[in-house]
């Protein structure tokens, strides 16, 4: 475990904060390249990442605070303000410091919902269609998620249930600590995330209808998270399922519904 990567006087670069910033930067460069291919206006990629980061981190933190009411609320709110100020001024050190103040209190599905809401508002202001942009952004979403999971691994957060497999690890200084060897589910998700990114990246120029790539994203990511939760230790809510499993199942079902509906809508529009 490497919770801290570097000390520069009073400033500490946490591994979690660094990987989160790296995830945002990777998404920016991906979208910038896609923007050149699709002939976007020059600043659109930067605006997408900025709005997605603000909405995503806010949503992730709100989801976490709802699930963990009263746990370090002051520190979390201060960290949120620090991150937003860093995003506004493009100050990477301030962004990392803000994320560090969050601890591990960021929840992916809350971030996904918050980021989608923020980007939707941006697209409405720009007069751009939502679904074609969702296709473009989908590979970036899973790329950023995969990179973020490395940060979880480095701080010892979001691991799985006890395991005796050869690659099982203990996190004695984790969040929370464990001396038992457990499934390193963060690494599983990193590898699965890269695989999903590779598949979506390959298909991004081979789709047959608008919304196909986003539909596949919903199915793959929802299914991946549902399966991973089987070897995680999260709280169960309904029918023995965790909150992440419920949302993952809904994502996958929505993706399947879109795969069925969207091509038929396009066909009807062409013949109507």
- What pLDDT score does 256 carry? 98
- What pLDDT score does 106 carry? 53
CB of 107 closer than 8 Å to CB of 64: yes
- What pLDDT score does 131 carry? 95
The pTM of this model reads 0.83
- What pLDDT score does 199 carry? 98
CB of 211 closer than 8 Å to CB of 135: yes
- What pLDDT score does 103 carry? 46
C-alpha–C-alpha distance, residues 192 and 133, integer Å: 23
C-alpha–C-alpha distance, residues 185 and 175, integer Å: 14
Residues in the chain with pLDDT values less than 50: 72-73, 103-105
- What pLDDT score does 257 carry? 97
Query: How high does pLDDT run on average in the chain?
Result: 84
- What pLDDT score does 28 carry? 94
């Amino acid at each position: 475990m490497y919770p801290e990567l570097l000390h520069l006087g009073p400033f500490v670069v946490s591994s979690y904060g660094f990987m989160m910033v790296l995830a945002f930067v990777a998404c920016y460069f991906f979208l910038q390249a896609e923007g050149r291919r699709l002939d976007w206006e020059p600043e659109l990629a930067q605006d997408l990442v900025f709005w997605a980061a603000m909405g995503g981190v806010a949503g992730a933190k709100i989801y976490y605070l709802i699930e963990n009411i009263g746990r370090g609320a002051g520190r979390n709110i201060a960290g949120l303000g620090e991150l937003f100020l860093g995003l506004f001024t493009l100050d990477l050190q301030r962004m990392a410091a803000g994320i560090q103040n969050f601890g591990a209190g960021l929840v992916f599905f809350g971030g996904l919902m918050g980021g989608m809401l923020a980007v939707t508002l941006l697209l409405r202001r720009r007069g751009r269609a939502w679904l074609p942009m969702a296709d473009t952004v989908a590979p970036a979403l899973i790329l950023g998620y995969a990179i973020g999971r490395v940060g979880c691994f480095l701080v010892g957060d979001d691991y799985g249930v006890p395991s005796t497999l050869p690659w099982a690890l203990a996190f004695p200084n984790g969040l929370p600590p464990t001396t038992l060897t457990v499934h390193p589910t963060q690494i599983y998700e990193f590898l699965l995330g890269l695989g999903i990114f590779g598949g979506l990246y390959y298909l991004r120029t081979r789709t047959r209808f608008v919304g196909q790539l986003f539909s596949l994203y919903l199915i793959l990511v929802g299914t991946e998270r549902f399966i991973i939760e089987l070897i995680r230790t999260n709280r169960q809510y309904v029918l023995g399922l965790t909150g992440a499993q419920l949302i993952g199942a809904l994502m996958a079902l929505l993706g399947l519904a879109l795969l069925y509906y969207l091509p038929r809508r396009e066909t009807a529009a062409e013949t109507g």
